[in-house]
Amino acid sequence: MTAKNNFQDFARWFQKETGMDLSHYNNSQVLRRLRVVMGKYGYATLEQLRQEAEANPGLIQECLTKLTINVSEFFRDRQHWDQLAGKVSLLAEGRPLLRVWSVGCSHGQEVYSLVYTVAKQLPMNKFHVWASDVDADALAAAKAGIYQHDSLEGLAGEQQRVMFRRQGAVFQIRERIRNQVTFMLHDILRDHLPGDFDLVLCRNVMIHFSSQAKQVVVQRLAESLTLGGLLFVGAAEQIFNPEELGLATEDVYFYRKTGVRT
Digit-coded pLDDT (tens) for 144-163: 999 999 999 889 999 999 99
Q: Give the chain's residues under pLDDT 50.
A: 1
What domains does the chain contain, in order, with CATH numbers? 3-68 (no CATH), 78-257 (3.40.50.150)
Q: 77-132: per-residue pLDDT in tens?
A: 888 999 999 999 999 999 999 999 999 999 999 999 999 999 999 999 999 999 99
Residue 186 is predicted with a pLDDT of: 95
Residue 176 is predicted with a pLDDT of: 97
Residue 1 is predicted with a pLDDT of: 46
Residue 214 is predicted with a pLDDT of: 85
Interacting residues of 125 by C-beta distance below 8 A, sequence separation 6+: none
Pairing label, strands 225-233, 247-251: unpaired
Residue 97 is predicted with a pLDDT of: 98
Q: How far, in Å, CA of 229 to CA of 240, rounded? A: 18
